[in-house]
Chains A and B, each alone.
Chain A
Amino acid sequence: MSDTANERTGRARDYCYLFVMLFAIWMVLTSSLQWQEVITGVLVSVVLAVYLGRTYATLGMPPLSVKRIGYFIVYLAVLSMEIVRANFEVAYIVLHPKLPIKPGVVAVKTCLKQDIAKTILANSITLTPGTFTLDIIDDTLLVHWIVVRSEDNEETARLISGRFEKYLKAVFA
């Protein structure tokens, strides 16, 4: 079986991503720059990257570019803000004597294609105020919402996933 050049660079890219990630985790956990530690880390990361590269490649990571990294950093900033807001909102609901909830399961359409992008979107929704992802069926996310503000499809998409989707679309486009 002969691979096209495009596929081959794609696979090399996946191995590189995995290697860099494993090596970064190794460096953080050992937190030392002694050459024995660094060399062991490089060897272990290479072996693991070669061994697990195939599985990792099925995620469909996009090629690296400055624009993508920039959007991803903006996305992370938005996400951290939302996580803090989520905590205060849920804390408020829990501590309120009347327990002001209006729960329900709503459907949210997404236009993201790759599995990895959908996974990141689903996890972000889970981390943000009063929503968590129950299931993904094709391009529809089923979301449990603790205070349902709208039952309309487009309105829910704007309120729940709109904040993240535009950045993720730029990252994975």
Chain B
Amino acid sequence: MTPLSPDERQWYSRQMALPEIGEAGQARIKAARVLVIGAGGLGSPLLMYLAGAGVGTIGIADFDCVETSNLHRQILHGVDRLDMLKTESAARTLAGLNPHVTVRRHDGPVNADTADRVVAGYTIVADGSDNFPTRDAVHAACLRARIPLVSAGAQMTSGTLTTHKAYEGPPHPCFRCLYPEAPAAGLAPSCAEIGVLGPAVGALGALQATEVLREILGIGPGLSGTLMMYDAWSCDLQAVALPCRTGCPACGGIPQPPVTGGNRPTSSVADSTCVPST
């Protein structure tokens, strides 16, 4: 583990003053390699807090470009970044936040074909992507590679957060214990006109960053087996037990291929789930 430099000791002094962190904890944070899937509404606070905390290596995977409808919630990006790849914009923001952090960009889609390659070498993966096929492919890759997956999802004014480490066997539930089937096309909230509250998704991204730090530091039991549910309009945060699903093949310790092919459109025009609201 690389020791902290005097500059880093000064940089993180307020964080190292926490009894759970100290110099040893800060060195663990520095040694961590965390991959964040999605540089959007969840990924923004997540990446910024991880960079601020001094996570030594941060990977950013995204394949979209910044546009104006992102800016109310995706605080990594600004008007000077419009039409720029989100990975590039995010890397610039993080470099500006903390020069001690090494940022690795993964431009391009994360799907069943690419997920194993993208997650390789990371100690923790945090998924803040916006669609089921990507989540499924990322989870399958993390399960195979035995990497803890801190997963958050947000929509409108609420969201969920949990951690998957089903490679440790029962009682750790996997992604497919939570979602045994891919959602029906008509239910998949991929349409752009669904509203989303910036600070609601931001709160979940900040909670997700906290969970990543807890995993790095080994503080508390972690969220494997617990599903946190947050609702912004009622300021409500609940913990729900998330057991293994009986008969779930992934929990038997047999890595399964993802149930879907990864992040690619499978719908034809006829199947498109978006209905124009005219």
Q: Do A and B come from one complex?
A: no
Q: B-side interface residues toward A, CB under 8 Å?
A: none
Q: A-side interface residues toward B, CB under 8 Å?
A: none
